[in-house]
Structure 1
């Protein structure tokens, strides 16, 4: 292992140590303090989300400053609107960190096990993020969150993308879009070289610095006026989304191949 790779490994270790300590601190001190001082749950969630947004931005800047990664976010202004339903592909463990860091007052759907994890359960509960333990409860919570003007982030693959495999979404995102009548804001995420993928430990350091690229695409409207059953519409929309993401990611890849220094 050369010096630069070793240095990035040290930077990665420091970054994730800070991430874990931050999660514990929020869970052990900030969340109880908010519960004691702020009686209104919505106000509590708002304050916790603002804190998490700033902590995640600091985490990204720390990784960037330590030489672990570079990143680029295109069309960020599109994420500043309220009440978005953001659907993204999921190549890396830290995708949600980048989205939450750059969106005001965003909610997200997280795996239920994260709400039971020692390092992440405190921030998740303090911010009122939605866990995916019960599908019907998720739909109702998503509907209520969007009704209040929150933006909602979800990764319909259900797990991190396996490298070099096409994206295949599940129907959760389509169901929420159809049942709430909300347009979809697609976000493409490209991670080069791949890192923190499914089954890959954090200490597996790639040969070169990671580049995270996020591109916010134009909104996709959904057809809520059709007489077809919602289940059938959800299957069609899911297929449309999967094809759209695969096509756009392929275009993104070829664009970057032609312009490697972009």
Structure 2
């Protein structure tokens, strides 16, 4: 009986320690965002983000800050990660797509691609920690309308790299891509790079409280599934057909990659 109690006590202490680390990391992330707001709010108020060099400054600040934050999470033992990506990310008119298993996916990818544009959840425009950074960087809100499509296409045609999660929200039961991503790709991008994000155990899922964290280190893997030159993809066909075939192509590859995944574990 004594051994059992000690064992349970050790497990509870371990879980409490991990929750303390998680809370500390969320506090650090909030602090980074609030310090960023001191830079970004004046930029937004005076509409300086319309200037290209100011936009680049804002994106560089987010890129560097989130790169540091990811390293802090690794040092604290909260997570570990590895990249299996051969293509150099961040070249002009390059679209980067990925599945969306957790809250930190966008943090990882933006910290990996300097000065990238990104399609972000529309509600984040009202988030006290993130709204200023989103507006200063001119990230594109996922408003599910023609404005989103046009802004994304324009960004690519202007030579920006664009990160987009075709699911639109974090993966719940299965990966389901929206067709908008394929439409944006054929209309504006020269190249598309597809990344599979694997993580174990699953954590930071949709509607999951931040403190519900596993006792073990979370392992992330970023794997390149394909890199496709869109200027050559079905080039003899009209764009609506190209977009439909690209959507099917992407969906099938991701379904094959994650066919044995258990999203509810």
Q: What's the TM-score once normalised by structure 2's chain length?
A: 0.85
Q: Does 1:125 align with 2:129?
A: no
Q: Does structure 2 conserve the Cα–Cα contact (< 8 Å) formed by 1:5 and 1:208?
A: no
Q: Does 1:50 align with 2:64?
A: no
Q: Deviations over 1:77-100 (max 9, x none)?
A: 521433310010000011010000
Partner in structure 2 of residue 209 of structure 1: 217
Partner in structure 2 of residue 257 of structure 1: none
Deviation at 1:76, TM superposition (A): 6.0
- Cα distance in 1 for partners of 2:76, 2:250 equals 36
- Cα distance in 2 for partners of 1:39, 1:21 equals 22
Q: Does structure 2 conserve the Cα–Cα contact (< 8 Å) formed by 1:178 and 1:224?
A: no
- Cα distance in 2 for partners of 1:110, 1:235 equals 23
Q: Deviations over 1:162-189 (max 9, x none)?
A: 1xx3311011110101212532100110
Q: Does structure 1 conserve the Cα–Cα contact (< 8 Å) formed by 2:195 and 2:226?
A: no
Partner in structure 2 of residue 219 of structure 1: 227
Deviation at 1:26, TM superposition (A): 1.8
Give RMSD over aligned pairs.
Answer: 2.3
Deviation at 1:34, TM superposition (A): 4.3
> What secondary structure does 1:217 align onto?
strand
The 5 A counterparts of 1:167-182 are 167-182=175-190
Q: Does structure 1 conserve the Cα–Cα contact (< 8 Å) formed by 2:187 and 2:239?
A: no
Q: Which runs of 5+ in 2 are unaligned?
A: 1-10
Describe the shift of the 1:37–1:5 C-alpha distance in structure 2 as closer, same or farther (beyond 3 A): same
Describe the shift of the 1:82–1:233 C-alpha distance in structure 2 as closer, same or farther (beyond 3 A): closer
Find the partner of 2:85 among 75, 80, 86.
75
Partner in structure 2 of residue 185 of structure 1: 193
Describe the shift of the 1:102–1:227 C-alpha distance in structure 2 as closer, same or farther (beyond 3 A): closer
Find the partner of 2:250 among 234, 241, 254.
241
- Cα distance in 1 for partners of 2:62, 2:150 equals 24
Q: Deviations over 1:126-163 (max 9, x none)?
A: 1110112252111221122112221100001111111x
Partner in structure 2 of residue 17 of structure 1: 27
Equivalent residues, number = 248
Describe the shift of the 1:229–1:118 C-alpha distance in structure 2 as closer, same or farther (beyond 3 A): same
Partner in structure 2 of residue 84 of structure 1: 94
Partner in structure 2 of residue 158 of structure 1: 168
Deviation at 1:229, TM superposition (A): 6.2
